[in-house]
Amino acid sequence: MSLARLPLIFLAAMLVQWWWMTHFTLFGLAPQVLLVLTVALAARQGALAAMFCGFSWGLFLDIMSPRLFGANALALTLIAYGTGSVRRQIDMAGLAPQSLVVVSMTWAYFLLLGFLGLVFDPAKTFFWVGWPAFLIDPFYNCALTAAVFAAWLPPRWEHHRGMA
Amino acid sequence: MHREARIANYALAVLSALSLILLSLHLSAPVQAFKACVTYVLNPVAYYGAKGSERFSNVPANVKDLLAADMENRLMREKIKQAQWVETESESLKVENQRLRAALGLKAPQLRSPTWAHVTERDPLHWYRSVMIDAGAGQGLTVNAPVLGTQGGRLVAVGRVVEVRANASIVLLLSDELSSVAAYAASPSTETPRSFEGLLQGQGNARLRMNYLIPDATIEKGDMVYTSPTSATFPPDVLIGTVTQIYPPDQELEWKSVAVAPAADASRLEEVLILKIQSEAAEAPKLSQTAPEPDSAQIPEAAP
């Protein structure tokens, strides 16, 4: 990815996340676009770029919520780091490993936000996202991962598109 | 350890520490200032996103309006074609009417031409009394010109011009106490006049009162009230309103009266039609061109 495209994707991702959460929820559920992109970025570019993007995207999510400023930033930073670590162990270029990581990272994200609420919120309450979001959102994110994968193929997959 | 992994570890430590500071010291001034900065930088994304979304959300409605306008335009073009024929026929009949009137020795009625104007101002303290419109002497308006509105696709009486300025005029509404107009009632089903004329007067409120009806006039609720041919201001047969109440006869008065709801709702007036009185001098050459005066020697004088 060229350096010129990164700011564009960075801004467009926030816009898409905001638009989806505001106008396109299905039964009150919306995918975590920024989480999916953080994982995709970490899988393709490595943990470092993904951590900085994830941290900034997390701040964007944090300013839209009145409580726990910094929670999403920490969660997406850790997700980027975790994905980057996994990338060193297994091949993350394919859709299946990325989808698996997204599903597991979504659950980890929800649980981490809950625990951060328990520790840092003045009310000391576990921030529970609710069973519908907890059970459906990982697969919603998984579907979005497939879309992101199709739109942003890794270089070694490009020749498959050419053959098709 | 790879260099990249080492840098990633440092970055993780820094970003995590920063996040934990933000989480734990969220009420401190530096964190609040940082939050304000982040909001200042990133909030435009949501702000301009909302603006763009609003613009795009209007697109279907705008396209729908555009299609409706196109269909209406086609319909109007057809109507204009028909109206051109009606206008030609009307001109021909007007000329014939003038010629016959002249032959019978009848005085020609005042010729009027319409002008549309917008209601620009309405005084809340004089809601049922007057409105200001954006046409005046510059548009050829004169004092006492009748003002009509539209209701359900037909013209209805609204009032008359009482003050003319350069590009604005004041219209005295029929509902004003100083307004009065000769009127007659007609059955709504047949619209045949019942020949009961009276004087319709404003009351300063939403209702009008039709006075001086003969005591044995059979007038009913729901009857339509129109301007009379004897009205000095309005053209005849313009709808004024509907009879809503028959007042009980007063023994001391030799006439009965009814309440009338005006057809033109004063609170909803947006555009009005003013009938300008055309000067005969302006109309005369046109008539002389289109219809030569018949030979008076060949047509017998009408009995006065």
pTM exceeds cut of 0.80: no
**Rounded-to-integer distance, Cα A155 and Cα B4, Å:** 21
Give the pLDDT confidence score for residue A106 in this predicted structure.
93
Distance from CA of B8 to the nearest CA of A (A): 5
| Cβ contacts of A71 on chain B, cutoff 8 Å | 19, 23
pLDDT tens digits, B122-171: 766 667 788 889 888 888 899 999 999 988 778 899 999 998 988 889 99
What's the pLDDT tens digit per position in A87-129? 888 888 888 988 999 999 999 999 999 999 889 888 888 888 8
Round to whole Å and give the CA distance between A69 and A118. Answer: 14
Chain B contact present for A68, CB below 8 A: yes
Contact pairs from chain A to chain B, CB under 8 Å: 89
Query: What total of structural domains would you count in chain B?
Result: 2
Beta bridge pairs of residue B157 = B148
Does B143 share its domain with B245?
A: yes
pLDDT above 70 as % of chain B: 86
Neighbours of B193 (CB within 10 A): 16
Confidence of residue B288 (pLDDT cuts 50, 70, 90): very low
CATH code, domain with B139: 2.40.10.340
User: Is residue B15 a part of any domain in this protein?
Assistant: yes
- What pLDDT does residue A2 have? 60
Domain stop point among B57, B78, B94: B57
Our CA-based measurement puts residue A106 at a distance from the nearest CA of chain B, in whole angstroms, of 19
**Are B131 and B280 part of one and the same domain?**
yes
Range of the domain at B246: 111-284
Residue B67 lies in a domain: no
Residue from the list A14, A23, A74 with its beta carbon closest to the beta carbon of B20:
A74
Residues B124, B223: one domain? Answer: yes
Mark yes or no for CB contact A51/B45 under 8 Å: no
Contact A70 B42 (CB under 8 A): no
Q: Are residues B146 and B215 in the same domain?
A: yes
Pick the closest to residue B35 from B49, B45, B25 (CA basis). B25
The rounded percent of chain A whose pLDDT value lies above 70 is 90
Question: Can you give the pLDDT at residue A76?
Answer: 94
H helical segments located in chain A: 5-23, 33-45, 47-63, 71-89, 95-120, 131-151, 158-163
Q: Report the alpha-carbon angle B124-B129-B130, nearest 5.
A: 80
The answer to whether B167 and B135 are in contact (CB under 8 A) is yes
Q: Which residues of chain A are within 8 Å of residue B55 when distances are taken between CB atoms?
A: none
A60 and B7 in contact by Cβ < 8 A? no
Q: Which of B8, B15, B42 sits opposite A14 (nearest CB)?
A: B42
B27 plus B119 within the same structural domain: no
User: Within a 10 A sphere around the Cβ of B155, how many other Cβ atoms?
Assistant: 17
Looking at the structure, do residues B131 and B17 belong to the same domain, yes or no? no
Mutate to test the interface with B, among A44, A59, A86 (most CBs of B within 10 A): A59
State the Cα–Cα distance between residues B214 and B196, nearest whole angstrom. Answer: 7
Substitution target in A16, A17, A18, A86 with the highest count of B β-carbons within 10 Å is A18
Q: What is the pLDDT of residue B297?
A: 39
Q: What is the DSSP letter of B166?
A: S
**d(C-alpha B50, C-alpha B199), whole Å:** 59
Segment A125-134 shows an average pLDDT of: 85
Residue ranges per domain, chain A? Answer: 31-154
On the question of pLDDT at B290 being above 50, the answer is no
Domain match, B51 and B119 both: no
Mark out the alpha helices in chain B (DSSP H runs): 3-24, 29-57, 59-104, 280-290
Q: Do A81 and B8 touch (CB under 8 A)?
A: yes
Residue B260 — very low, low, confident or very high, per pLDDT cuts 50/70/90?
A: very high
Residues B118 and B203 reside in one and the same domain:
yes
